[in-house]
Structure 1
C-alpha cells in the first residue's frame, strides 16, 4: 500500500454534500474520515472550500475547511485566504500538512 494516497471521495460524501454543501466543515470532516477508513490509514485529511473567483453556496472566495481524522479524534480548521486560486489551494494544503505534523507530534 502506498505511503500517501490522494483521492477524491466526492461520491462517498454525496449525502453530506447534499445536506451541508460542497464547501462546509461537515464535508471536510466526512472526507477526512472516509479517506482514513477506506485506506486503513492512521490519519485522513479532508479539504474543501471556495477557490474563487466567485461565491459558492454563499461562501466567499478563499474560504477553506480542513479536517484531520485519526482513530478517536477529529480536528477541524477554517481559514479565509483573500488571494488568487493557486495561493488559496497552496495555503489550504500547507495548513493541513502543518496541522497533521502537530497532530502526529
Structure 2
C-alpha cells in the first residue's frame, strides 16, 4: 500500500486542497484522512474546466471523485457546519460524500 501525505507549513494557501483533489481524481482505492483542526479550515477546489467550485471545510478535498473522508481522532468536526456542508456538496455533485470517523473523535456542537 502506498501512502501520500499532503502537508502545509505556511499557515494556509499552499494548494493542499487542489493537490488532494488532483490526486484523488487519479488514484484508485484512495482515502482522505483529516487529522488536525476542524470546521474552520477551508480548501477551495475548482474543476479544471470551470464547471464547479467548492470550498471543503470538513469534507476532504477529493470527495468530489467519490473518495471517502476519514475523521481521525485528532480532528474535531463541527456537526452543525458539517450538516450544511454535506447539503451543499450533495446539491452540487448529486451524491452524498462518504464520511467515516474513528470511534473516539471529539466533536464541536456549538452553533
TM over 0.5: no
* Higher strand fraction (1 or 2): 1
What is the TM-score when the length of structure 1 is the normalising length?
A: 0.38
* Higher helix fraction (1 or 2): 1
What is the TM-score when the length of structure 2 is the normalising length?
A: 0.36
